[in-house]
Amino acid sequence: MTGHRSEFLRTVAERGFLHQCTDADGLDAALSEGVPKLCYIGFDCTADSLHVGSLMPIMLLRWWQRSGHKPIVLMGGGTTKVGDPSGKDESRQLLSEERIAANMEGIKRVFSQFLAFGDGPTDAAMMNNADWLDGLSYIPFLREFGRHFSVNRMLGFDSVRLRLDREQPLSFLEFNYMVLQAYDFLELYRRTGCILQMGGSDQWGNIVSGIELGRRTDGAALFGLTSPLITTASGEKMGKTAGGAVWLNADRVSPYDYYQFWRNAADDDVGRFLRLFTTLPLDEIVRLEALRDAEINEAKKVLAREATALCHGADEAARAEGTARTTFEEGALGADLPRYPLDRAELEAGIAAFELIARAGLAASKADARRLIRGGGGRLNDRAFENEMQTVTLGDLTADGIIKLSAGRKRHVIVTPV
């Protein structure tokens, strides 16, 4: 028992989402009143897809809705023009309005898999902070809201202090991000009655600033909740692989590769990931995480299937699982293995092994591809490369007219000459 009365707080505490909360008792009481409450999480549009690192906030919104409340997905059409300094050693690249709009369209597609949108009291809503930030007048905004922010205190928040401690430059543009995010919270409170902002632990300072702004300007009782930073059992940042970020959009990372990411989770991560990234009941998770030795692979398959179904749908999850079974358990080539088309003329001339491994997406860079092959992990048609400079040619085509490239025993790409 966590001691929380509300279903939402009880669920997120039991499953490992709860890191900090500004007033847990007050929020618990508000959520126990029997009427839907509104919360929001903001997502800046810095790329055309979110990645696995964004799953924590997405799952928080999902549990919020499943607990009988209304989630707001706030697109950062305005704040992306400024750039959040949290967790960064240098300024983010400034994007054009056209690029931000294109990125926003790509990101929007992710949420329909996790949330139910509509006009009902608990249906999710999507908003864009450019709707109010783009029209602000600088001097009136400073006069009305700037006086509520203490520079001394802003300098003490981690998002600012860590940059300054490392002697990394922090532009005045980025310094304003905290003010704009705080204003977002106030604006959403005024427009919708939103009482809670959630986010990762690096957003704590920004969230607290919004709560204080609402209290000082409107006497609003607002709340903040953060989730912990998630790393793997090996200490690596969640969502990074040798091939790069694990994106949530199928046009960036295929459902099969997404399934394989979860299937390849470390043994020590399985129970935690099942709690955070699936909606399986806790008693079933306890049973699965108790499996040992070879049996833990069954738990990993469940994790991969459930996580993939949430992101890409049950049909794609079943296809990915079938391809994995065909490839690894039956020894055949699954039809849904990733394909990399390569100009036949390049194969005729010959291409270095490390170059092909990197271009096919089995390594994040050519240097990583070289290290992979030197360590014996790069394979051509199931045989280890002799060295990173080994030439791959048309003579390496199988009887089926393809080349099978592998990174270890679990990641494969089919090279097809075109």
- Label residue 91 by pLDDT band (50, 70, 90): low
Task: Round the average pLDDT of the chain to a whole number and report it.
Answer: 88
- Label residue 124 by pLDDT band (50, 70, 90): very high
Sign of the alpha-carbon torsion through 254, 255, 258, 259: negative
- Label residue 102 by pLDDT band (50, 70, 90): very high
DSSP of 259-270: HHHHHT--GGGH
Residue predicted with more confidence, 177 or 191 = 191
- Label residue 400 by pLDDT band (50, 70, 90): low
Query: In terms of DSSP H, where are the helices of 255-295?
Result: 255-263, 270-277, 282-289
The tokens describing 250, both together, are: 């199928």
pLDDT digits (tens, 9 = 90+) for 327-339: 765 555 555 677 8
Helices H, strands E: what count in the chain? 19, 15
Residues in Cβ contact with 256 at an 8 Å cutoff, skipping those fewer than 6 apart: 319, 320, 323, 324, 334, 336, 337, 338
Residues 316-335 have a mean pLDDT of: 75
- Label residue 399 by pLDDT band (50, 70, 90): low
pLDDT digits (tens, 9 = 90+) for 348-398: 888 999 989 988 888 888 888 898 998 888 888 878 898 989 989 888 887
Instruction: Please report, in angstroms and rounded to a whole number, the separation of the first and last CA atoms in the chain.
Output: 60
Task: Check pLDDT > 50 for residue 1.
Answer: no
pLDDT digits (tens, 9 = 90+) for 257-281: 899 899 989 999 999 999 999 999 9
Name beta bridge partners: 76: 44
- Label residue 242 by pLDDT band (50, 70, 90): low
- Residue 234's φ and ψ, nearest 5 degrees, are -85, 0
- Mode of pairing for the β-strands spanning 223-227 and 196-200: parallel
Residues 295-304 have a mean pLDDT of: 94
DSSP of 339-351: EEEE-HHHHHH-E
The tokens describing 399, both together, are: 């009887």
Task: Check pLDDT > 80 for residue 101.
Answer: yes
Please tell me the least confidently modeled range out of 22-36, 38-52, 145-159, 177-191: 145-159
Burial of 120 (0-12, 13-18, 19+ CB in 10 A): exposed
Q: Which of 90, 187, 209 is nearest to 131 (CA)?
A: 187
133 sits in the region (left: phi over 0; alpha: psi -120 to 50; else beta) called: alpha
Contact present, 333 and 317 (Cβ < 8 Å): no
Residue predicted with more confidence, 364 or 111 = 111
SS3 content of the chain, % helix, strand, coil (to 5): 50, 15, 35
pLDDT digits (tens, 9 = 90+) for 26-39: 999 999 999 999 99
Residues 307-315 have a mean pLDDT of: 96
Percentage of the chain lying above the pLDDT 90 cut = 56
Residues in Cβ contact with 24 at an 8 Å cutoff, skipping those fewer than 6 apart: 4, 9
Task: Check pLDDT > 70 for residue 82.
Answer: yes
pLDDT digits (tens, 9 = 90+) for 13-28: 999 999 999 999 999 9
CA gyration radius, the chain: 24
In eight-state DSSP terms, residue 117 is: B
Q: Alpha-carbon distance 5 to 326, whole Å?
A: 47
Residue predicted with more confidence, 391 or 155 = 391
Q: What is the pLDDT of residue 336?
A: 63
Element spanning 74, H or E: strand 70-76
Contact present, 403 and 396 (Cβ < 8 Å): yes
Alpha-carbon separation of residue 378 from 127, 144, 374, 389 (angstroms): 46, 61, 8, 12
